[in-house]
Amino acid sequence: MDYLAGLNPSQRSAVEQTEGPVMIVAGAGSGKTRVITYRVAHLIQKGVDPFNILVLTFTNKAAKEMRERIMKVVGQEAKNIWMGTFHSVFARILRVEAELIGYPKNFTIYDTDDTKSLIRAIIKEMNLDDKLYNANHVYGRISSAKNNLISPQEYNKNEAIMAEDISNGRGQLGQIYMTYAQRCYRAGAMDFDDLLFKTNVLLNKFPDVLHKYQHQFKYLMVDEYQDTNFSQYLIVKRLAAVNENICVVGDDAQSIYAFRGANIQNILNFQKDYPDVRVFKLEQNYRSTKMIVNAANSIIEKNQNQLEKNVFSENEDGEKIKVARAFSDNEEGKIVAEAISQEKALKGLQYKDFAILYRTNAQSRAMEEALRKLGVPYKLYGGTSFYQRKEIKDLIAYFRLTFNPNDEEALKRVINYPRRGIGDTTIEKIMVAADQQQYRLWDVVANAQMFLDGRSATAVGNFALMIQSFQAAAKTASAFDVAMHIAQHSGILKDLYEDKSVEGLSRYENIQELLNGIKEFSEREDLEEKGLDIFMQDIALLTNDDNDKDPNADTVSLMTIHSSKGLEFPAVFIVGLEENLFPSQLSLNSRSELEEERRLFYVAVTRAEKKLHLSYATSRYRWGTLNNCEPSRFLDELNPACLELDFHSKTAANMYTDGGFQSERVAWKQRETDTFSKPKPKMVKTTSILPKAHVPTQGFAPSDTSRLQVGMQVEHERFGFGKVVNLEGNKPDVKATIFFKELGQKQLLLKFAKLRIVE
């Protein structure tokens, strides 16, 4: 029981409460992973069979880390726990039960590229405008429907949904969804959302299957419960219905995935779902300094919809949070790059100790340019993962066809790669024949002589024979031997080897790396099943956090805040703290959207261990137009006693000499107090560091600005009263330069400005 000795009282109580419904509210940096792993280990130590424990995570990385920690306590028994991501665990169940819902056990899992490719093909076949019916939008609509358990049939019967589509000019969305579902079924394929959707169908339609898994999984644990969607919520609720030994772990303050369908109400309402729940709060932050924790608390306390907790730190007080203002995004990049170079030299840090976080991927450009100029090495997260590279997807498509010849996306991808004389016309004939005869594409390909003639029939017939030879090899050979056989006899290795360009060599090396990975997989001793089909399932279910990243590489990390969740760094730079960028302009329509943006800022701040830098620019290019920017409201919401203006570089110092920001600096300095005289200081209520928000005139309504003239007085909802000093440009892109009494001069695009002309 030594493993319990290292836990604080709250952690230990959560670990030892093994029976009944439990909710663990885990603040940032509070040792959540330790509690989950020790709780599972404690169950096994008490005699619970590992096969009866189900642990659901959101990344393979988290599951792997937890299993390794559990193994240190209980040994090899940890291998028998059902542990993994929602998608990987329920894909495993569907492999066993798929035939009940009409799917083969060896169904293909379509990734996002496969899904969008099929959607684009359907849009083209239906002769729809691919700009109006953008594949990304259609995919998002279908994904949202599935996550809310709305089938294609229900979608097309729902008057409200159809009315919304028609009003948006996309009245055919329901038909696209229906056709997409039919094509996936015909191809024996499920997309990521189907893995949850079909699991719900399975548990709903087959009570005996539900009964089987309810009694197998006597103990359920769900990590990051605040990120679950409706589909995940329902699966967990059904599986836990018999024993109710369910433990959910999460932090409502870190719920930032509403755009993916995550529903924060799942964690907020858990106590309503299970009235006898035991709630444990992990409130001690072991990651960050007191200064950073205090600042984070001052942010999140502004949210109304949250679970009450008091996060504190017993670490050192730490340095104040530095805030920098730049004239432009390029200047901001320069300030950040210089600060990293200086802190590395002065504080003895490594480049990998630094992270730059931003709201949108587009912001990385200015940061990358500045880092390159100073010779600072960096790693951009969110780029193309290894398994998304073309040559890798090509070879994997052959693997997929070998185990599921009905996989139409894989077939279309490689039927003429490498080139074998099967042109677009022949492929079109195959698709027409399949539609007319209600056959699968493979049925036509495997019987080419019946549907094609001449050289086309021969070429397609030879392709079918090749795939059939791969299928025969897969029945007896190891995963690596099958993969090597396919790579050689498909012609991919030869095609890439003959390309002597730098890019060609890189692609050839990537194929070698894939084969190396399969070799390692086939030699793993911890796996019972080591076939190539199992390897493909594993890589199909990789999450964004599982991409090939070398944790030991000495590089600065650049990523969006969403990508940073779950990570921590000694020094963090949060850039672009400007209104309409962070918080995003798209999130200002409701309190719930704004509160999610605030939670996103909270997540960003709590990534920092020792040092935190914030910055914003007063101007930034968007869509080729230079726009004036105002500081984010989130700067205003931070406890100013935690903040300090950053004079770390000559460039920065020069910027703070102008009169406007000088007054902000003085106001800041006047309000700085010693916040940490007590272990758990209360938040100091202070006045704004930025100009006071304007209260619009009662009945405020924007005027028709087509009659606006220089010299007119206007009112803006937030900027207040001002005078038009210049108008330039042609309709509809007329820009007005307005001098506001409180803020000074601003340039606004009239079609977005919402101005009231003061008569």
Q: Is 686's pLDDT higher than 70?
A: no
* 492 in the same domain as 585: no
Domain boundary among 623, 645, 667: 645
**pLDDT value for 329:** 87
Domain boundary among 588, 614, 645: 645
CATH number at residue 242: 3.40.50.300
Question: Residue 628 CA to chain centroid, in angstroms?
Answer: 30
Residue-wise pLDDT tens digits, 339-366: 999 889 888 899 999 999 999 887 888 8
Of the two residues 742 and 708, the one the predictor is more confident about is 708
Q: Tell me the average pLDDT of the chain.
A: 86
Which pLDDT band holds residue 63 (cuts at 50, 70, 90)? Answer: confident
Residue 561 lies in domain: 313-384+546-645
* 398 in the same domain as 377: no
Residue-wise pLDDT tens digits, 609-618: 999 999 999 8
* 414 in the same domain as 357: no
* 533 in the same domain as 418: yes
Q: Is residue 664 part of a domain?
A: no
**pLDDT value for 286:** 92
Q: Is 683's pLDDT higher than 60?
A: no
List CB contacts of 649: < 8 A, sequence separation 6 or more. Answer: 335, 338, 339, 342
Strand partners, 643: 321
**pLDDT value for 384:** 57
Residue-wise pLDDT tens digits, 97-127: 999 999 998 899 998 889 999 999 999 999 9
* 126 in the same domain as 31: no
**pLDDT value for 749:** 80
* 634 in the same domain as 592: yes
Q: Is residue 469 part of a domain?
A: yes
List the structure tokens of 263.
């529903």
Residue-wise pLDDT tens digits, 327-338: 888 889 999 999
Domain boundary among 152, 187, 222: 187
Overall domain count for the chain: 5
CATH number at residue 441: 1.10.486.10
Tell me which residues are annotated as active site. 32-33, 223-224, 254, 607
Q: Is residue 667 part of a domain?
A: no
Q: Is residue 653 part of a domain?
A: no
Q: Is 47's pLDDT higher than 60?
A: yes
Q: Is residue 297 part of a domain?
A: no
Please, what sign has the CA dihedral across residues 374, 375, 376, 379?
positive
CATH number at residue 716: 2.30.30.390
Residue-wise pLDDT tens digits, 638-647: 988 898 876 4
Q: In 3D, which of 98, 634, 748, 715 has the Cα closest to residue 359?
A: 634
Where are the extended beta strands (E) located within 507-552?
A: none
* 513 in the same domain as 436: yes
Q: Is residue 40 part of a domain?
A: yes
Q: Is 671's pLDDT higher than 80?
A: no
* 76 in the same domain as 15: yes
Residue-wise pLDDT tens digits, 437-483: 889 999 999 999 999 988 999 999 999 999 999 999 998 888 889 99
**pLDDT value for 99:** 93
Task: Give percent of the chain with pLDDT exceeding 70.
Answer: 91
Annotated binding residues for ATP? 26-33
Annotated binding residues? 26-33
Residue-wise pLDDT tens digits, 150-175: 999 999 999 989 998 898 889 999 99
Which pLDDT band holds residue 709 (cuts at 50, 70, 90)? Answer: confident
* 19 in the same domain as 79: yes
Q: Is residue 505 part of a domain?
A: yes
* 36 in the same domain as 93: yes
Q: Is 411's pLDDT higher than 60?
A: yes
Most confident of 131-140, 395-404, 615-624, 723-732: 395-404
* 207 in the same domain as 83: yes
**Once rounded to an integer, what is the mean pLDDT over residues 244-271?**
90
pTM exceeds 0.85, yes or no: no
Q: Is residue 287 part of a domain?
A: no
Give DSSP secondary structure letters for 242-308.
TT--EEEEE-GGG---GGGT--THHHHTHHHH-TT-EEEEE-B-SSS-HHHHHHHHHHHTT-SSS--
Angle between helix axes 390-403 and 479-489 (nearest 10 degrees) is 110
* 83 in the same domain as 17: yes
